[in-house]
Structure 1
């Protein structure tokens, strides 16, 4: 197959059969599925290519806030999302003596201000909800990407099983160690077009143990009786750890344990860098932290529960050890390839913004893809990708800084103590301003009916909300060939 012959040709849309660009999405994670869900509501053809052979219900809880719910309403999944999630209005910062240091909470009704409040949902439940919005025939499992190729005529993905996929646009939504990004950056590096910082390995300062228990009774964990999610973030004085517990709608308890790495312990964990999420690496870490105290909301014995009690109640295959890389890449796209979510920005989970920003990426990128004309040429596709990055980058940088603030709050040393002091003593008006900055970006899908919920805090201006498709009458362009890519 020849992706792009080195020729120049007339691109006359008045004589071409109307053809919407076909989108290949590599990665069936939350971001990839959200993009698929949105494209499913258009006339744009797409395919999702996933490396895994099956979906594993790994991970703990995900906080979905008001910045995502307008799009959920547009896609018709908000009511079901509410039914399988739990309202989250406070975060309790606690100590190893099970005392509450301070509480982070809304000062005003978030539904009135922003349309909805924040909710806690388990990753498996959110994944299943999004997965059901995409027809099964659109998702191709067990497809490990070996190579990607692009040029003026299209894109080609080759997989380890010998299968190939052709399209017009390639979206890399395949995580922090994205195969799409690696292929893209390899070519850019050969062409001396890759920024030096993008060629560096992903930095990491933490590792994390995540999981959730089986469904429990209130006798086993009293806080499960409470209607809202009970979120405790416990800070250790003498050990390089912080840990969180959250109650869910399914009467499970999610847990997340963060280990802050030193130079030496970073070396110990470096071999784990490229491994997949899974239970194999979790056992050793769980043994190190099982004596850490937690708050269950009960009295006497209930208050004396430890992380080990939760580990013993958790299916081992659902526990995993993960890397906490942190980086915002400079290069998000080139030619017909574009990156989404962790593939282009990896945020520390302390700020709870990683999944949210992947969903935001999908919304904005879908808007710009939908706005493309029929038979888009490479220059038009690149212009759409540039608009996507230009719109998203300031919000991603802000989320990155916020995640750094929350990471500093649970970290060790003087900076952490100062951050906790500031958060503990932050005036209500100042916290409201901080919250407004986090929640002002509430993107919507321009080609679906708008969510017109009345709010007192209007959302920030969203360029892609006005990206509509250009009229196609007698447009005739000369399509200059991008660097030729001959694929044999």
Structure 2
């Protein structure tokens, strides 16, 4: 990268945050390429909700209308205890009046497909598992498992809670004894469950089970612990509320649509090192129950691209 030329950004991971970052860079006319370890992507996930803390960015990117088409407006949240005792309701009906935006709820893979459609196919490479990172004053180079190398000016780790890029830079920092002690500590784990009504009379469910360090290695057996949890949902406004058990949904869901993963809850201190920066779950894995994981990743991407855009503006002025 010369003083007056835009940087080339290498993006590790073609998940929601990586694709959103790519769209932002595309709009800013900043060179980039996305490298995804999987040979093909099968978007999984349950429901996802977005509101006024990120929707302005979707609107500026011209994505708000498409988001609305795959969504339902979220007007309320019902809170229940483990016996389906009603604890309260969060009323969101006046949200648009207060913020200018509805709250939307939708199927996570639907949003993924929208974002993927906005990134040129020649700017995403699949089956590119990154196994090594080198960086110096001339740029950053990534090495893939099939022996290829790619060079750029900036590397962004948007590759999730078990980020390969984070592991690479943390290893380097630890060897140099500059990695904060807090970033070496074990994470904590989270628990809750929910069901969500989605467009086209679909139901999404998710279960979060809190595990201590000892139980992590036995986590695959935890599904049975939550199998008989009570649930409550309404498919349409004209239908009656349904109260049953979580296993009603699990047994009637295609196993191919169910994903299971251990997700750490941890806010890391180190987000950048040299020419490498982390965004989203790679550096700030939040409790899934907060519903802010994807939002934080999108916000990270917005801040990063704004910084790059400002940098280019300063170079042009200078």
Quick check: TM above 0.5? yes
Secondary structure in 2 aligned to 1:165?
strand
Q: Which residues of structure 1 form unaligned runs of 5+?
A: 1-10, 208-241, 273-280, 374-468, 476-488
Shift of 1:97: 4.6
- The answer to whether 1:329 aligns with 2:314 is no
2:226 aligns to what? Answer: 289
What is the alpha-carbon distance in structure 1 between the residues aligned to residue 89 and residue 123 of structure 2? 44
1:253 aligns to what? Answer: 203
1:76 aligns to what? Answer: 62
Secondary structure in 2 aligned to 1:170?
strand
What is the alpha-carbon distance in structure 2 between the residues aligned to residue 349 and residue 161 of structure 1? 34
Asked if the contact 2:197–2:234 (Cα under 8 Å) also holds between the matched residues in 1, the reply is no
Asked if the contact 1:296–1:305 (Cα under 8 Å) also holds between the matched residues in 2, the reply is no
What is the alpha-carbon distance in structure 2 between the residues aligned to residue 23 and residue 365 of structure 1? 11
2:37 aligns to what? Answer: 51
Shift of 1:88: 1.0
What is the alpha-carbon distance in structure 1 between the residues aligned to residue 299 and residue 169 of structure 2? 22
Secondary structure in 2 aligned to 1:193?
coil
- The answer to whether 1:270 aligns with 2:220 is no
Asked if the contact 1:204–1:324 (Cα under 8 Å) also holds between the matched residues in 2, the reply is no
Spell out the pairing of 1:340-419 with structure 2 (5 A cutoff). Answer: 340-373=279-312
What is the alpha-carbon distance in structure 2 between the residues aligned to residue 350 and residue 24 of structure 1? 31
What is the alpha-carbon distance in structure 2 between the residues aligned to residue 105 and residue 332 of structure 1? 36
Secondary structure in 1 aligned to 2:316?
coil
* Greater RCO (CA < 8 Å, at least 6 residues apart): 1
Asked if the contact 1:206–1:323 (Cα under 8 Å) also holds between the matched residues in 2, the reply is no
Asked if the contact 2:208–2:288 (Cα under 8 Å) also holds between the matched residues in 1, the reply is no
Give the paired residue count: 316
Shift of 1:355: 0.6
Shift of 1:288: 3.9
Cα distance, 1:287–1:45 mapped onto 2, change above 3 Å? same
Residue by residue, what CA displacement relative to the aligned partner does 1:17-57 show, whole Å, maximum 9, x if unpaired? x5211000001111111110111113211000111122123
- Which structure is larger by alpha-carbon Rg, 1 or 2? 1
Q: Which residues of structure 2 form unaligned runs of 5+?
A: none
- The answer to whether 1:144 aligns with 2:129 is yes
Residue by residue, what CA displacement relative to the aligned partner does 1:363-382 show, whole Å, maximum 9, x if unpaired? 11011112223xxxxxxxxx
What is the alpha-carbon distance in structure 1 between the residues aligned to residue 210 and residue 155 of structure 2? 36
TM-score by length of 2: 0.92
What is the alpha-carbon distance in structure 1 between the residues aligned to residue 181 and residue 217 of structure 2? 22
What is the alpha-carbon distance in structure 2 between the residues aligned to residue 177 and residue 95 of structure 1? 31
Shift of 1:315: 1.1
1:164 aligns to what? Answer: 149
Spell out the pairing of 1:224-263 with structure 2 (5 A cutoff). Answer: 242-261=192-211, 263=212
2:316 aligns to what? Answer: 472
Q: Give the structure with the higher percent strand.
A: 2
What is the alpha-carbon distance in structure 2 between the residues aligned to residue 337 and residue 86 of structure 1? 37
CA-atom RMSD, angstroms?
2.4
Secondary structure in 2 aligned to 1:25?
strand
Asked if the contact 2:209–2:222 (Cα under 8 Å) also holds between the matched residues in 1, the reply is no
Shift of 1:139: 0.7
Asked if the contact 2:196–2:233 (Cα under 8 Å) also holds between the matched residues in 1, the reply is no
- The answer to whether 1:306 aligns with 2:245 is yes
Shift of 1:205: 2.6
Shift of 1:336: 0.9
What is the alpha-carbon distance in structure 2 between the residues aligned to residue 290 and residue 186 of structure 1? 39
What is the alpha-carbon distance in structure 2 between the residues aligned to residue 12 and residue 83 of structure 1? 43
What is the alpha-carbon distance in structure 1 between the residues aligned to residue 193 and residue 25 of structure 2? 38
Secondary structure in 2 aligned to 1:325?
coil
Secondary structure in 2 aligned to 1:320?
coil
- The answer to whether 1:112 aligns with 2:97 is yes
What is the alpha-carbon distance in structure 2 between the residues aligned to residue 200 and residue 308 of structure 1? 35
Asked if the contact 1:286–1:311 (Cα under 8 Å) also holds between the matched residues in 2, the reply is no
Residue by residue, what CA displacement relative to the aligned partner does 1:443-465 show, whole Å, maximum 9, x if unpaired? xxxxxxxxxxxxxxxxxxxxxxx
